């Protein structure tokens, strides 16, 4: 007889986890084979990169990576990362917004301070800037990948297709003085000019024109930064955000050929900004007179040709199709800066079989930032330090070899060539990347009346960009010595304010002494998120909970200034019930595991109500109501089961001007021992009586705050309603004991005896309980007003609470994890969610602010078809399978036309016909919440694994084996999970899968009889139809 408790399929269980009973011995030869078989860190180096301009930046993140990285951020006070950003982006704010999946809010924070924030997210040398100041660099896990997060947020926003608009709170253009219609010219369509023009347009200047000599936008960002670092659609997107504000671009207009600075002034331009890059390459005398036909390129020749041939959309339609430089053999790249690294990696993509990077100094003095050097290093570049070219040898009119001298460092610290140490290297091509200068004297003359320094830079005030002696002329970027894109952007930003000052002063006007440039704005920011409840108008649904964030009136005042729409004061009592707290009393919870710092999933507190008097709180209420007439002030009060006390305190709070009351009937610790809080809120009769007393005492609305520490919260809510409560607040904290140390002492521990008590747990760990309780009350009492609280930490959470029946939400734990400013994240996030919901009818495939699957990370447009060719569910992405994928990709690229596909920019999407109001979303989920017996038992599903997303970890296999139905096979060679027909669709595999949307659940196409094990009594045939009603009842 087969035992019921033995495995029916030993092969299925072969790779399941087993307890180790002895040391495992594997010969090294076998181990080497296994290592190679499962190796993942394989890359296509060298010639395997031919024509491969897909994103290879090590910083690029998809959504999963961005969320995990953002969660690590500490959101530091006076964050050093922000001080290290030339454009002063609020880095901790945008990272915090990414962590809450508010990608629009993050992009808004970025573009508010840097109009070319997407470009900078892709190309900034962050290790020398923001990342270099990250406090987490002092920890084992290292600093935050800020550049990758910035790129991610701005790319998601680009996918949204939302236009930039001018903030309607600013004076309308037709109401501004004539000085705002002064013509303003900017020369060069690079980052400095785009940044400057954007801020001028935000200020209200309506006649701003950028002149560009090329037939494409972006300046050196487009022409000299390869597509694998900066695709053209990123630059194009930032230009279109600029044109959204009315800025005009005139392409094909060259300074020195078509106009001069003085001619612009003579034509009526009131201010001019010079923001073009340095056009002429520095070259070593050894290569004088050599040209591309002989194998010699400068970076100024080579990189633009590469970009034109690999960036769809960059070149005008109808123009001759550009081709990549036809390289082969060995390529020498001279230089050690970022441009040299771009030349080296691009050389591989143009056909070079071997690339040697030659420079004069040591490794420690490479000028390129580490992340920039990482790409050519991974491509397989060879490095030759301490060398300077002396002579180039030609054969048959082409470069044959280059002779170098060894560089030696003298006692004075200077490097000098040593004529006795000579090195000769054969090569077919040389690319010089030694920097650049203005060069052309005609261009210098055309810049007059600007003057140049001995170093070849425009003579301008570094604090304003204003050219010395020429008040109407400004300069920024390469021309004034900026070495980074982000510095050029900041030069343009800084100059915009001083141009504004000059233009207004010239017209007899004045501007504030403090620089006040407008923030980024879009139609999303115009979405109305106000909501009305019980005649009270909340300008947004976010309020300070009756907790530590509302400890004092001063804190509430700061909360209102930050953007919170309402507050519930810290609970106060009559003076006879005043308390004194113990310490410590607020501790991190244990629900989030070993996570330290912000991002705690729970807190536990044994803090009681406010230790301040009723007179204090009534005074606070009076001040807040008087000073903030558009905010709602709710007084939280608590008494024992005494009618006189409740009557007195409620009337005092009403007399102080409170808009509403919250009756704290639910504090789970301390106060119950005094006959207050939980002692009152768990008995229906007590709740009904207290509400009746308060109803008889006051005319203003009041809410009974409910405890979750009861069997049936609806019974308590019903008692409150019967007593005359206008609504309820759900839920208060959950009674808990978070942790006990190995010595048996719990935390928090008070006094020498290390005693503790059961505390109240708050934070995101409470959210599932809060949603269940709120929806239960909303279903039981339709239309009964609810204030939600318990674990709201994002705009998405807020919408969940609204969908479950709460009109507004109270928040504290999220503030404890960060600060009062989090409300701006929630405001922009909720507006974005409602705006995008207005587009749902278009079927765009967005989930909240998450774009459709496969949209990220960024890939060069010309490679999309190739990705489809390479993708194969039969080939996992490791070892020999990954090698074959890379080979298939290389073969496809070799024949690909990178410019064949029509360039389709991520343009603005259709405006929603109607953006839903928050009131429209109230209770939206309730119709879908029902009893178990009403669920669709006939509509069964099965798991489906997306093999292209699968990382072959086997977590689905393990959990299915040990806690579910043994319905997944795991291949010993490919590590591919295969879902078997016995899958019951339980969902556990999807719950533990580390990759979002890798496992989905699709309708079962065949009937599936439940496996009863042994035939049930009374049912002769165990293989009965499970969808038969009688059978379902028997189940």
Give the active site residues. Answer: 667
Element (H or E) spanning 919, and its range? Answer: helix 918-921
Taking the mean position of all CA atoms in its chain, how far away is CA 561?
25
User: What is the 3 state secondary structure string of 519-553?
Assistant: CCCCHHHHCCCCEEECCEEECCCEEECCCHHHCCH
State the DSSP code for 320. Answer: P
Distance of alpha carbon 553 from alpha carbon 510, whole angstroms = 38
Cβ-Cβ contacts under 8 Å for 930 (sequence gap 6 or more) = none
Pairing of strands 429-432, 296-298: parallel
Q: Cα–Cα distance between 472 and 466 in angstroms, integer?
A: 8
Residues in the chain: 1035
Q: What ranges in 569-642 are assigned the alpha helix state H?
A: 614-627
Segment holding 91, helix H or strand E: helix 91-99
Instruction: Give the distance, in angstroms, between the CA of residue 120 and the centroid of all CA atoms in the same chain.
Output: 15
**DSSP class per residue in 101-130:** T-HHHHHHHHHHH-TTHHHHHHH--GGGTT
C-alpha distances in angstroms, 572 versus 500, 662, 666, 886, 960? Answer: 52, 11, 14, 67, 52
Helix H or strand E segment including 719? helix 713-722
* Inter-CA distances, 739 with 589, 667, 735, Å: 8, 20, 13
What DSSP designation does 1011 have? -
Dihedral (C-alpha) 344, 349, 352, 355: value to the nearest 10 degrees?
20
| Tally: H helices and E strands in the chain | 32, 33
> CA torsion sign, 897 to 899 to 902 to 907?
positive
Are 694 and 639 in contact by the 8 Å Cβ rule? The answer is no
* Dihedral of alpha carbons 1010, 1015, 1016, 1022, sign: positive
3-state class (DSSP) for residue 760: strand
Contacts of 193 (CB under 8 A, 6+ apart): 186, 187, 210, 219, 273, 275, 276, 477, 492
């Amino acid at each position: 007889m087969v035992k019921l408790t033995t495995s029916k399929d030993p092969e299925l269980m072969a790779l399941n986890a087993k307890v180790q009973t002895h040391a495992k011995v594997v010969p090294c030869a076998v181990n080497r084979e296994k290592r190679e078989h499962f190796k993942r860190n394989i890359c296509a180096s060298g010639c395997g990169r031919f024509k491969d301009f897909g994103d290879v930046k090590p910083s690029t993140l998809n959504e999963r990576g961005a969320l995990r990285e953002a969660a690590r951020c500490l959101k530091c006070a006076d964050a050093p990362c922000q001080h290290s950003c030339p454009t002063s982006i609020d880095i901790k704010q945008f990272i915090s917004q990414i962590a809450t999946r508010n990608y629009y809010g993050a992009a808004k924070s970025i573009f508010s301070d840097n109009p070319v924030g997407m470009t900078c997210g892709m190309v900034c040398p962050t290790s020398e800037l923001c990342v270099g100041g990250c406090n987490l660099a002092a920890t084992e896990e290292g600093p935050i990948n800020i550049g990758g997060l910035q790129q991610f947020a701005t790319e998601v926003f680009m996918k949204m297709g939302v236009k930039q608009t001018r903030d309607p709170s600013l004076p309308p253009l037709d109401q501004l003085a004539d000085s705002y219609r002064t013509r303003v010219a900017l020369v060069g369509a690079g980052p400095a000019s785009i940044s400057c023009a954007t801020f001028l347009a935000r200020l209200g200047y309506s006649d701003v024109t950028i002149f560009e000599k090329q037939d494409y936008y972006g300046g050196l960002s487009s022409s000299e930064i390869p597509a694998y670092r900066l695709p053209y659609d990123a630059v194009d997107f930032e230009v279109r955000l600029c044109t959204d504000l009315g800025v005009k671009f005139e392409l094909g207009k060259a300074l020195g050929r078509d106009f001069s600075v003085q001619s612009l002034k003579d034509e009526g331009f009131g201010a001019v900004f010079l923001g073009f890059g340095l056009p002429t390459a520095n070259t070593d005398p050894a290569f004088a007179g050599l040209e591309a036909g002989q194998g010699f390129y400068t970076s100024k020749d080579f990189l633009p040709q590469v970009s034109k041939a690999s960036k769809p959309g960059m070149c005008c339609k109808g123009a001759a199709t550009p081709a990549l430089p036809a390289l082969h053999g060995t390529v020498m790249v001279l230089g050690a800066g970022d441009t040299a690294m771009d030349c080296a990696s691009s050389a591989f993509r143009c056909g070079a079989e071997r690339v040697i990077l030659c420079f004069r100094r040591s490794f420690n003095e490479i000028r390129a930032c580490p992340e920039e050097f990482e790409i050519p290093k991974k491509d397989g570049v060879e490095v030759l330090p301490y060398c300077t070219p002396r002579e180039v040898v030609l054969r048959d009119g082409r470069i044959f070899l280059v002779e170098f001298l060894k560089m030696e460092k003298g006692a004075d610290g200077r490097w000098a060539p040593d004529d006795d140490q000579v090195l000769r290297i054969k090569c077919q091509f040389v690319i010089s990347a030694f920097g650049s200068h203005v060069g052309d004297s005609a261009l210098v003359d055309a810049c007059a009346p600007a003057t140049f320094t001995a170093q070849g830079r425009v003579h301008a005030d570094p604090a304003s960009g204003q050219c010395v002696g020429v008040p109407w002329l400004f300069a920024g970027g390469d021309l004034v010595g900026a070495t980074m894109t982000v510095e050029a952007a900041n030069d343009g930003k800084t100059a915009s304010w001083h141009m504004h000052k000059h233009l207004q002063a010239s017209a007899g006007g004045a501007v504030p002494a403090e620089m006040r440039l407008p923030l980024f704005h879009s139609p999303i920011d115009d979405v109305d998120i106000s909501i009305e409840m019980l005649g009270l108008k909340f300008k947004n649904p976010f309020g300070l909970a009756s907790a530590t964030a509302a400890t004092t009136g001063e804190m509430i005042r700061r909360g209102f200034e930050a953007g919170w729409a309402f507050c519930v004061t810290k609970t106060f009592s009559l003076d006879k019930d005043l308390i004194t707290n113990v310490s410590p009393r607020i501790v991190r919870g244990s629900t989030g595991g070993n996570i330290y710092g912000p991002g705690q999933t729970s807190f536990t507190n044994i803090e009681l109500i406010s230790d301040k008097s009723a007179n204090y709180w009534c005074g606070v209420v009076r001040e807040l109501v008087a000073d903030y007439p558009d905010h709602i002030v709710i007084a939280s009060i608590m008494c024992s089961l005494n009618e006189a006390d409740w009557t007195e305190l409620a009337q005092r709070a009403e007399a102080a001007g409170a808009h509403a009351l919250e009756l704290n009937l639910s504090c789970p610790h301390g106060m119950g021992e005094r006959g207050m809080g939980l002692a009152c809120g768990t008995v229906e009769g007590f709740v009904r009586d207290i509400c009746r007393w308060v109803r008889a005492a006051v005319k203003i609305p009041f809410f009974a705050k409910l405890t979750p520490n009861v069997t049936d919260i609806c019974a308590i809510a019903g008692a409150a309603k019967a007593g005359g409560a206008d609504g309820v607040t759900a839920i208060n904290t959950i009674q808990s004991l978070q942790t006990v140390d190995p010595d048996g002492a719990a935390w928090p521990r008070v006094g020498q005896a290390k005693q503790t008590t059961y505390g109240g747990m708050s934070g995101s760990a409470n959210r599932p309980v809060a949603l269940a309780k709120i929806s239960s009350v909303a279903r039981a009492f339709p239309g009964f007003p609810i204030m939600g609280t318990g674990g709201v930490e994002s705009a998405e959470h807020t919408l969940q609470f609204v969908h479950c029946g709460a009109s507004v939400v109270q928040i504290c734990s999220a503030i404890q994890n960060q600060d009062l400013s989090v409300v701006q994240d929630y405001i922009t996030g909720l507006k974005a969610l409602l705006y995008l919901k207005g587009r749902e009818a278009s079927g765009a495939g967005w989930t909240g602010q998450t774009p459709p699957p496969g949209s990220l990370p960024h890939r060069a447009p010309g490679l999309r078809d190739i990705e489809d060719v390479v993708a194969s569910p039969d080939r996992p992405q490791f070892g020999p399978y990954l090698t074959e994928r890379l080979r298939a990709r290389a073969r496809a690229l070799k024949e690909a036309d990178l410019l064949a596909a029509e360039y389709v920019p991520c343009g603005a999407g259709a405006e929603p016909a109607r953006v839903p109001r928050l009131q429209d979303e109230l209770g939206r989920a309730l119709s879908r919440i029902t009893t178990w017996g009403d669920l669709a038992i006939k509509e069964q599903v099965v798991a489906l694994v997306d093999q292209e997303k699968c990382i072959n970890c086997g977590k689905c296999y393990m959990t299915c084996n040990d806690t579910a139905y043994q319905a997944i096979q795991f291949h010993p060679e490919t590590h591919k999970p295969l879902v078997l027909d016995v899958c019951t669709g339980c969902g556990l595999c999807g719950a533990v899968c580390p990759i979002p949307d890798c496992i989905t659940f699709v309708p079962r196409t065949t009937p599936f009889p439940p496996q009863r094990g042994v035939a049930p009594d009374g049912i002769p045939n165990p293989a009965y139809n499970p969808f038969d009603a009688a059978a379902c009842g028997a189940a």
